[in-house]
Amino acid sequence: MVTSSQVARAKLGDAEAFAQIVRAYHARCVRFARGMLRDQGAAEDAVQEAFVRMYRALPRYEERDRFDYWLFRILANCCRTANASLERRGEQQLFDEEWDRIERPGALDLVARLESSDAIRRAVAELPEHQREIFLLFHVEGFSYEEMERMTGIGRSALKMRVKRACDILRERLEGLLHG
């Protein structure tokens, strides 16, 4: 977790404070970007771009929002842009063993167990982008509906519906695997 003093120092141009922020959030950002982009190289590029944008925007960051919420809003925008570019070029790939090496929050044990399955990773990767993003933000990154609403500009009822539909699709695709 990044402290408000680290953020304040980074806002004033402290390179070490900025490096600490990057170290604190890098693995989590890569995990989210991998889930969104399904390509390790594109995920790393999107995370790097998000950190560059974050650095440039730090002077405008207002501490009334959680820092991770603000960072993930930037990252989600970078991922959407990268996804559109990958789709135009037809370069999307499915997950690989790199997904397993990315740290996960300890509180999300079920998600961590599910992520270790190739079938589940593929099912998540096959979700429509608008459902995959919201599913990952809610179930993997732990953002609230209120935070996601401000992050994406999508109304709360629509967000809940996207999470529900994503879960329904995953449940349907994986029913035999989870119960078999």
Q: Give Cα 59 distance to the centre of its chain.
A: 23
pLDDT of residue 133: 92
Cβ neighbours of residue 146 under 8 Å, at least 6 residues apart? 156
Nearest alpha carbon to residue 71 among 170, 141, 173 = 141
Nearest alpha carbon to residue 28 among 104, 99, 97, 112 = 104
> Distance of CA 1 to CAs 84, 89, 101, Å?
31, 37, 20
Total domains in the chain come to 1
Cα 65 to Cα 84: distance, rounded to the nearest angstrom: 28
Query: Which residue range(s) make up the domain with 74?
Result: 4-179
pLDDT of residue 14: 94
pLDDT of residue 180: 53
Cα 154 to Cα 163: distance, rounded to the nearest angstrom: 12
List per-residue pLDDT tens for the chain, 180 residues long. Answer: 789 999 999 999 999 999 999 999 999 999 999 989 878 889 999 999 999 999 999 999 988 878 999 999 999 999 999 887 766 665 444 444 444 444 444 434 444 554 556 777 788 888 998 999 999 999 989 999 999 999 899 999 999 999 999 999 988 887 766 555
Cβ neighbours of residue 63 under 8 Å, at least 6 residues apart? 4, 7
pTM of the model: 0.74
CA end-to-end span of the chain: 39
62: domain CATH number is: 1.10.1740.10
